[in-house]
Structure 1
Amino acid sequence: MRLGPGMDYAVAEFPVPEPAPGQVLVEMAYASVCGSDVHLVDPDFHRPEMVGSPGYPGHEGVGRVVASRADGIEPGAVVLTVPSGRFGGCFAEYQALDAGSVIPLREGDDLPHVLMAQQLGCTIAALAKYWREGMRSAAVIGLGSAGQFFVQLLRARGVEVFASDVDAARIAFGREAGARAVHADELAATVAQAHPEGVDLVIEAAGLDATRALAIELVRVRGVVGNFGYPEFQVGTFPTMAAFRKAATVEWFSNAQGEPGQWCFHEALDAIRTGAIEVGHMTEVRMGLEDVPRALAITAAHGEGAAKITIAIRPESAIFEGS
C-alpha cells in the first residue's frame, strides 16, 4: 500500500522482540483494522519514528503472553491488547507491550468476538463524555464499527437515533439495530423533517471535515456534538460561526487507554460476553497477515460492506495449547 513518495506499507520478517522491564511479549492470534489505522499510515499523519516498526499501526489485538517481565502477568495468559493507536504493533506475530496495555481474558472467551472490545471500549468511554441527562434524540454520522456501536449504545438508553453511511450493508445494520438509517445524502433532510430544531446529540464517526460541518448543522441550539476519531489528516476546516450561533458544545475524544483502570474496556468485554452488544457480524471478514495492506485499502474504501476486517495471525488452537 503506497503511503507517499518512496514509502510503502509492506509485510516483512523481523526478529522476535525482547520485552523490557515492565513489559510482556504477546504471541498474537488476531488483530483487527481500525479506521484510525487508515489515518496513521498517511505520510502527513504518522509518527515518523514508528515507520518500519513491525506491526505498526495495529492497536486492536488478542493473543497469548509467552514471556513476562511484569508483575502479575504470567506466561500463558490470554490477553486483549490495547496499546495507544500511535504506538501499536498488533499487525505482527509477536509484540512487546507495557503491562498496562494488556487485559487478561477469561477461559472460554470467543477471541474474535472479544477482540471487538477494544473498539467498543473506546465508544463507551466517548459516549460517557458526550452524554447529558435528558437526551432523547441523536444522529450518528458514519456506520463503520464505531458508528454501529454508538447506535447500539444509544438505543439501549432509549434514544431515538438517526444514522447515515454511504454503504448499503452498513445502512442495513443501522436499521436492524433500531436506528432510522439512511444514505448520507438523505440524513440532513430526514433529521430536519422529524426534528426541525435539531437533535440533542450528534456523533460524527466518519472523520471528515464535511461530516463535522454536517454535525453542527444537525445539532439543536445548546446541543452536543461528539467528534470521534482522528481529524482529517491534521489540516481541516470547521464551521466556527455556525457552532457559535448555536452555542453548541463540541466534544473531542481520544486516549481511551488512559481512562482510570481502563474501565471502558472491561465494560466492553462484559457487554460482548452477555450479548448486550452485537459483534458477530463484525468478525466475519477475515484475512491473513500478508493481506494487511489490502485490508487497509479496503477499510479506506468503506470496508466494501464490512464493518470490520479481522486479521487472523495464528490458529486459536496454537494459542490455547501454547504451541
Structure 2
Amino acid sequence: MRAAFMPAAGVVEVGDFTDPAPAEGEVLVRMHHASICGSDTHVVHDGFHRPERLGVPGYPGHEGVGVVEVSRSTHFSEGERVLTVPPGWLGACYAELQVVPEQYLVPVPDAVTLERGLMAQQLGTTVFAMKRFGRPPGDVAAVIGAGSAGSYFVQHLRRLGYEHVVVSDLDPNRLATAAALGATTTVDARDASVVEAVRDLSGGAGAGLVIEAAGYDACRADAIEALRHGGTAGFFGYPERYGDAAYPAFLAFRRNATLAWINGAQLEPGLASFHEAMGLIEADAIEVGQCLGLRLDLEDAARAITVARAHGGGATKVNLVLPAGR
C-alpha cells in the first residue's frame, strides 16, 4: 500500500508499505478520504510526535473515512462504511489501508457521502467541547480562529441562541465563510482587536463564552481578556508548545473565570459526540460544505500539512483524497 509517514521529526514522505492485518477486535479499513487536523501540524513541525511512531505508515492522520475490507470484530462487517476516530497518537489514516480497533469506529449512514461523513470527526470534537462549555449567560459569545472547528462553533453558538457571535481570524476568506455561517461580527486580527469588538457589543461587560480555536497563547490571553465576570474561556486549540505557557492569571482570577480545556472526545463512552455529529450531518442541521473545498492527493501529503499549517491558504479545511476515493 501507499502511505504518508514521518521518517523523522519535521519530515513527511510517501512510500510503499506491506498491507497491515487486523487482530481480534480490529478491522482493516480501506481509506477513501482523510483530513489534516491542526494537531497534525504540531506533531509534524513542533515536536509533539510520539518517537515510537516515527516511520509508522499513516501517522499522524486520525481523521479518516473508508470501507471495512477485513473484519475481526463482531460489531462491524466487511463492506460497511465507517468513520475512523482513534486518539491522535494511534492514528494512521494517511494510508490506503488502516487497522482500527472496533471501539474507534462510527458507521456512516447510507444517506451521507463518505466525504461529508468524514467531517463528523472534527464536528464531533466540537460537540464534545460544547457539552463542557455549556451555555454561559449573556447575548455575546466569541470564537477566536475561523478554521474548520471555528466554523462549527459559530453554528453551535447560533443554535444556542446567542444574539451576537464575534469571530476573529487572520484570513479574510475564512472570515467571509464565518459570516455566511452566522457570525454577526467578524474581526480581521491583522489590524483589529477581538477584545475591543466584544466590549463594544456588550457595553463593556464582555462575552459570556469565548472559544479559542486557533491554538496560540496570545489568543488564549485574548479569550480571558474578552470575558465578562463569571464567563467561560473554552480552550479548544492545541497547545502552542510543550511545558509552561504564560497567561493572565490575575485577570482570570478577578473575572472569576472558568477555563475549560478540551481533550479526549475519543474516550467518551460509546463515542457519543461523534455519533451525534454524524446525525447532525445526516439531518443537514450543521453545514460542513465549507470544509470540503480543498482536496489534495495522498502523494501531496507533505504539502497538505504545510498548507494546513499556513491557515489553509484561506481554505477552511485541508483534505486528502486516497486512491480508493478518486
Same fold (TM over 0.5): yes
Which residue, out of 287, 290, 294, partners 1:285?
294
Gaps of 5+ in 1: 318-323
Name 1:110's counterpart in structure 2.
113
1:6 positional shift = 7.2
- TM-score normalised by the chain length of structure 2: 0.93
Aligned residue for 1:214? 222
2:281 to 269, 272, 279: 272
1:40/1:86 contact within 8 Å kept = no
Query: How do residues 87-236 of structure 1 correspond to structure 2 at under 5 angstroms?
Result: 87-132=90-135, 134-159=137-162, 160-179=164-183, 180-184=185-189, 185-195=192-202, 196-235=204-243, 236=245
Cα pair 2:209 2:234 within 8 Å, conserved? yes
Corresponding residue pairs, total = 317
- 1:134, 1:250 → 2: CA distance? 16
Q: Provide, for residues 125-165 of structure 1, a one-character-per-residue CA deviation record: whole Å limited to 9, x for no partner.
A: 10110113534321100000001100011111111211110
Cα drift, residue 109 of structure 1: 1.9
Match of 2:254? 245
For 2:177, what is the secondary structure of its paired residue?
helix
CA shift, 1:96, in A, is: 0.5
Any conservation in 1 of the 2:136–2:231 contact (CA below 8 Å)?
Answer: no
Give the whole-Å Cα distance in 2 for the aligned partners of 1:243 and 1:40.
29
Hey, which bits of structure 1, 4+ residues long, moved more than 4 A? 3-7
User: Displacement of 1:246 after TM fit?
Assistant: 1.1
CA gap 1:4/1:19 in 2 versus in 1, 3 angstroms: closer
Task: Name the SS of the counterpart of 1:11 in structure 2.
Answer: strand
User: 1:31 offset after TM fit, Å?
Assistant: 0.4
SS at match of 2:239: coil
- Using the alignment, how far apart are the partners of 1:4 and 1:260 within structure 2? 34
**1:80-139 CA distance string (max 9 Å, x none):** 110111211010000101001111222242111111000000001101101135343211
SS of residue in 2 equivalent to 1:106: coil
Gap change, CA 1:312 and 1:186, over 3 Å in 2: same
Q: Is 2:66–2:83's contact at 8 Å kept on the other side of the alignment?
A: yes
Give yes or no for contact 1:229–1:254 (8 Å, CA) kept in 2. Answer: no
SS of corresponding position for 2:15:
coil
Deviation string 1:260-313 (CA, Å, 9 cap, x unpaired) is 211111111111112111111211211100111101101110100111111110
Residue of structure 1 equivalent to 2:265: 256
Letter in 2 for 1:247: N
One-letter amino acid of the counterpart of residue 168, structure 1: P
Secondary structure of the residue aligned to 1:197 is: coil
Seq. identity, %: 46
Unaligned regions of 5+ residues in structure 2, if any? none
Q: Is the 8 A contact 1:216 1:243 kept in 2?
A: yes
Q: Give the distance between the partners of 2:241 and 2:260, measured in 1 at CA.
A: 18
The one-letter amino acid of 2:110's match is E
Query: 1:68 is matched with which residue?
Result: 71
- Which shows bigger deviation, 182-191 or 93-102? 182-191
| Residues 190-212 of structure 1 deviation map (CA, whole Å, 9 limit, x = unaligned) | 11111211110010000001001
Determine helix, strand or coil for the equivalent of 1:8: coil
Distance 1:186 1:200 in 2: 17
C-alpha distance in structure 2 between counterparts of 1:274 and 1:85, whole Å: 28
Q: 2-side partners of 1:140 and 1:227: how far apart?
A: 10
- Which amino acid in structure 1 is aligned with residue 70 of structure 2? A
Give the 3 Å change call, closer, same or farther, for CA 52–240 of structure 1 in structure 2: same
Query: 1: CA distance between counterparts of 2:240 and 2:7?
Result: 16
How many angstroms apart in 1 are the aligned matches of 2:228 and 2:37?
30
Partner amino acid, structure 1, of 2:52: E
Whole-angstrom CA distance in 2 between matches of 1:78 and 1:72: 13
Distance in 2 (CA, whole Å) between partners of 1:165 and 1:41 is 23
CA deviation profile, 1:217-267 (whole Å, cap 9, x unmatched): 001111100000321122322221211111101001101111121111111
